[in-house]
Amino acid sequence: SAIACLLVFFLLQLQNKNFLLFVVGDSVQLEINGSVSEFDEFTWIFNESVSVLKYYKKYKDVTLSPRYKDRVEFNEETCSLILKNLQKTDSGLYKVKASNALQTTTLCVHRLSVSDPVEAPVLTLYNSADACYSTLTCRGHDLSVSSMCSYRTCEEKEVTSPGGVALSLSVRDSTIICNHSNPVSWKQENITFTHLFMLKLDTLCLDI
């Protein structure tokens, strides 16, 4: 019977939720959770067609694709694979096929998604004629949100892109927070209400 995969995340039941998320430059260990002693030959395959590595246990022979030179470590006892210095082109499906004299079977499936880390967002202040209001714009990637801010609060807003990049303006205590995120990373830029209106303080604003 097929050996359960440590990082499979219910592949069959959750077709759209079985991703392993990593940042460019990370390393990932793809493991097989269980005994591999009954098999003689192992092949790690990328996206159904690219052979990453072949291992013949009897001869302790490891054949690595030139594409993965200096980026792969293989454990001959567990047949696990460490893929280093991940790039966005490494995103996709990884599986292990194992065989012996009686059968060939798929032992384990991993689906990887590798993304760049987000850049820090940029907050820009636009003054208005009214000393008690300002417009604050937050930009990150190809997204932007703008909010009219009074002396006490800003309208909270959020936008997202189809690729999972999100940009939001929110308020926590006396701080306005611009958060830029994707599925693998996030960065923030903050400004306080005191700083936002430090040149505009007027007793009339306190009643708004």
* pLDDT tens digits along 14-65: 343 346 899 999 999 998 877 898 999 999 999 999 999 999 999 999 999 9
- The SS3 assignment for 194 reads helix
Distance CA 137, CA 87 (A): 32
Range in 29-38, 90-99, 157-166, 192-201 the model is least confident about: 192-201
Q: What's the confidence (pLDDT) of residue 7?
A: 31
Residue 181 has pLDDT above 70, yes or no: yes
Q: Which of 94-108, 121-135, 187-201 tops mean pLDDT?
A: 94-108
Residue 8 has pLDDT above 60, yes or no: no
Q: What's the confidence (pLDDT) of residue 198?
A: 62
Distance CA 178, CA 183 (A): 17
Residue 2 has pLDDT above 50, yes or no: no
Helices within the chain (DSSP H only): 193-196
Task: Give the residue with greater pLDDT, 67 vs 12.
Answer: 67
Domains of the chain: 19-115 (2.60.40.10), 122-207 (no CATH)
pLDDT in tens, 124-141: 888 777 777 888 899 998
Nearest Cα neighbor of 24 from 182, 138, 136, 155 is 182
Q: What's the confidence (pLDDT) of residue 206?
A: 54
